[in-house]
Structure 1
Amino acid sequence: MEYFGVFNQVLTLFLLVCAGYAARRSGVIDDAMTTGTCRFLVNCALPALIISSMMVPFSADLLSACGGMLVITGIFYGVSLVIALLLPLLIRAPLAEQGTYAFLLLFSNTGFMGFPVVQTIFGDEGLFYAAIFNLPFNLLVFSVGIILLTRHRGGDEGRFDPVILLNPGIIAVLIGFLIFVIPISLPVAVSGAVTALGSVTTPLSMIVIGAMLARIEPSEIFAGWRVYVVSGARLLLLPLVVWAVLSPFIHDPYLLGIPVVMAAMPAAANAAILAEEYRADTQLASQGVFISTLFCTLTIPFVAVLLV
């Protein structure tokens, strides 16, 4: 494994966040453009990325591999959910912030940052397993994730509108699964367009997060001790717990190593993007993504060296 290869992948994405911050501060982009770009990401680019990641040839071996990894992913999210719900209570987070902290803990940047890091560590074969691992993420982030972000939102506290589950993210998962299982061969031009549209998600998301951070006063970006505790748990506690739970039973380097590496990713960029789209705490979500992405330049290579 190349330590500096992992470091450079992480640093590249962090620099894109800095570029977005500078663009907003200098007036190159404004709040209206940031909000509009968020809507584009949630409703167009992210769904395209989900569908393109599932456009792979169907085979029995592939289906079997999917089953094993999906079981492990279920364990992964079960463990993560317990920590995500308990830690905000332990640090006595205000009620309005608990859902955002839970989202930051439960969902890591598996797609935007996880894929290039896994490819650096495990190669192309590892990337295939990572794509399987990421399938439940797309379903959960657009269902459980939205519920967490909106459950204590201002006057909507305690209310849940099931209509939010009928969103482009979940629809994209269903379409992608049908394309994989039936299977459906899309015309070259269509598949190329979907792949190209999805490919803009990673850089554009990082830039938008930086633009969102520019709304916050510089003195407040690093303010508040709870976000550091949550970021530390996100980057170090969760991968260690996942490794401790899985390692006694799983010895395959892909089935063990990939969940651990994915758990070591910073908070999902979707936190800030979905918070903006669904009128949740965008400032706290952006701050959590920024802080965890900042420190992951050190922690991801550290976890990879120790656990993989």
Structure 2
Amino acid sequence: MGSEIIIHQLLIFGVLIVVGAIGSYSGIITEKAKDFLSRFIIDITLPCLIFSTFARIDSNSQLLINGGLVFAFTFVNLFLAFVVGSASSKLQGLNKGNSTIHTLHTMFGNIVFLGYPLFDALFPGGIGIFYAAAYQLASNSVTFTYGIYRLSSGTNKSSFKRLMNINTIALLIGFGITAFKIPVPSFLIDALSGLGKATSPLSMVYIGALLMGIGIRKSVKHWSIYILSFVKLLLLPIAAGFLYMFIVKTFNLNMSREAFIVLVMEMAMPCQTIVVVMSRRYGGNYQLAAGNLFVTTILSILTLPAIYFFLNYLLG
């Protein structure tokens, strides 16, 4: 049943991505419109989705414990991906700039534009988004510190102000509402929920428009893209699945099936969109970053259902 849901959802995403690509190709979605769409999703619809989801969810101690486990193990995911990405860069003999892109894209996946809609479909009722938000909170703390530091070649150090954006604030408030069971007026939840539901379709349209405008032919010629795709979409999540299964059994952790799947599948997400944007801003090889994004996004249509099937087999 879960495999059918994920395939159905990815087909929906595919249609919406094509709509975005057509919009970009026809000139309806301009470069300025893409920038606006990205900011509108990140700064408005996504915080509304997070807040309204957390306000509706029926919290309990087990949910919070699992959220804490996902948050903590996110740093393990990122560390493993950093080690593998760095080693892969050295083995391929990539120059410093390309090595930075390769390593960061091994570490960071599209956990917002693709992760949120996918886990909301897989685990409805707010549980999927709750665990995805825990993962995002941990991941963002590294993206906007180490990620920016690497892309700017050590010249731009992250500030607390950049880290504490509206998205992070929505996450923290949402966790507080869930943890302490703070009542929220129904009219406020309904209003923000309606706006938050636009996150999924708008995200897919944005990805389609972005992919159409990045010069695909030039971007996908670098052979490191395909090594990255294999490592990020298959090797790392499979290895992480076995690792966390060993940890859960060895230490007798009461980790829910949903939390386990979200934790591992977040590692299998295609490359993160924001790395493309930041590499362009800081003078990095954004064409390579765009190629990483394009190829891994296309291949993830096949690999994400495969990883989901693997995890269900592993969990029994």
TM-score range, shorter chain: 0.7 to 0.9
Matched, 1:38 2:69: no
Instruction: Give 3-state SS (helix, strand or coil) of 1:216's partner.
Output: coil
Q: Do the aligned partners of residues 175 and 75 (structure 1) sit closer, same or farther apart at CA in structure 2, a change above 3 Å counting? A: closer
Aligned residue among 229, 248, 251 for 1:250:
248
1:102–1:148 contact (8 Å) kept in structure 2: no
Superposed CA RMSD? 3.1
Matched, 1:267 2:271: yes
Off by >6 Å, runs of 4+ in structure 1: 273-281
Question: What does residue range 167-182 of structure 1 map to in structure 2 within 5 Å?
Answer: 167-182=165-180
Give 1:270 shift: 5.0
Q: Distance in 2 between matches of 1:40 and 1:124?
A: 24
Give 1:4 shift: 4.2
Q: Unmatched 5+ residue regions in structure 1?
A: none
Instruction: Give 3-state SS (helix, strand or coil) of 1:151's partner.
Output: helix
1:47–1:198 contact (8 Å) kept in structure 2: yes
Q: Distance in 2 between matches of 1:142 and 1:277?
A: 18
TM-score (ref. length: structure 1): 0.82
Give 1:30 shift: 0.8
Question: What does residue range 216-227 of structure 1 map to in structure 2 within 5 Å?
Answer: 216-227=214-225
Give 1:255 shift: 4.6
CA offsets 1:58-111 (integer angstroms, 9 cap, x no match): 54xx22332134224422431332323541453244433444444433333445
Give 1:284 shift: 4.3
Give 1:268 shift: 4.1
Question: In the alignment, residue 157 of structure 2 is paired with which amino acid?
Answer: F
Q: Distance in 1 between matches of 2:221 and 2:97?
A: 17
Give 1:51 shift: 1.7
Give the structure 2 partner of residue 11 of structure 1. 11
Q: Distance in 2 between matches of 1:104 and 1:243?
A: 20
Q: Do the aligned partners of residues 198 and 281 (structure 1) sit closer, same or farther apart at CA in structure 2, a change above 3 Å counting? A: farther
Instruction: Give 3-state SS (helix, strand or coil) of 1:293's partner.
Output: helix
2:219–2:288 contact (8 Å) kept in structure 1: no
Question: What does residue range 196-207 of structure 1 map to in structure 2 within 5 Å?
Answer: 196-207=194-205
Aligned residue among 291, 294, 314 for 1:290:
294
Give 1:57 shift: 4.7
Q: Do the aligned partners of residues 18 and 58 (structure 1) sit closer, same or farther apart at CA in structure 2, a change above 3 Å counting? A: closer
Moved more, 283-292 or 10-19: 283-292
- Aligned residue pairs: how many? 302
Give the structure 1 partner of residue 252 of structure 2. none
CA offsets 1:12-36 (integer angstroms, 9 cap, x no match): 2133223222211111121111112
TM-score (ref. length: structure 2): 0.80
Q: Distance in 2 between matches of 1:284 and 1:140?
A: 26
Instruction: Give 3-state SS (helix, strand or coil) of 1:28's partner.
Output: coil
Instruction: Give 3-state SS (helix, strand or coil) of 1:142's partner.
Output: helix
Q: Unmatched 5+ residue regions in structure 2?
A: 250-255
Give the structure 2 partner of residue 106 of structure 1. 107
Aligned residue among 289, 304, 308 for 1:304:
308
Give 1:280 shift: 7.0
Instruction: Give 3-state SS (helix, strand or coil) of 2:56's partner.
Output: coil
Give the structure 2 partner of residue 159 of structure 1. 156
Question: In the alignment, residue 162 of structure 2 is paired with which amino acid?
Answer: I
Instruction: Give 3-state SS (helix, strand or coil) of 1:267's partner.
Output: coil
Matched, 1:49 2:49: yes
